[in-house]
Amino acid sequence: MVKVLLWVVVILAVILVMRVIAAQKLRQNQQNRTSQHNRSQPSKGKAEPMVRCEHCGVHLPRSQALMSDGHTWCSLDHAKHGPRK
Ligand SMILES: [Zn+2]
């Protein structure tokens, strides 16, 4: 009888330890996910500076604009025309 009780206690202890380990793993996964989420957010929301074509006044991302002599243009054609008077 004492042996059976001992086995029950051992099995309960093993179950308890497994549940604690599983809960810790779950918490670590959630922490990893939230930290990755926080890291990915700033790059996602990073806005490219906008510039204005000096001929037609259209706004476009800096990487797509043509630049010459400190002026910005939306196209080569507008760069040839120059600023609108
Ligand atoms: Zn333009």
39-83 residue pLDDT tens: 555 555 678 899 999 999 999 999 999 998 899 999 999 999 999
> 44 near 35, Cβ under 8 Å?
no
Ligand 1 mean position to 50 CA, how many Å? 13
Instruction: Identify the band that residue 85 occupies on the pLDDT scale cut at 50, 70 and 90.
Output: confident
Q: How far apart are CA 51 and CA 57, in angstroms?
A: 9
Asked whether the predicted pLDDT for residue 36 surpasses 80, the reply is: no
Q: How far apart are CA 61 and CA 53, in angstroms?
A: 11
More confidently predicted of 77 and 36: 77
pTM: 0.45
Helical spans, DSSP H, in the chain: 2-44, 76-81
Ligand 1 mean position to 72 CA, how many Å? 9
Ligand 1 mean position to 65 CA, how many Å? 9
Instruction: Identify the band that residue 33 occupies on the pLDDT scale cut at 50, 70 and 90.
Output: confident
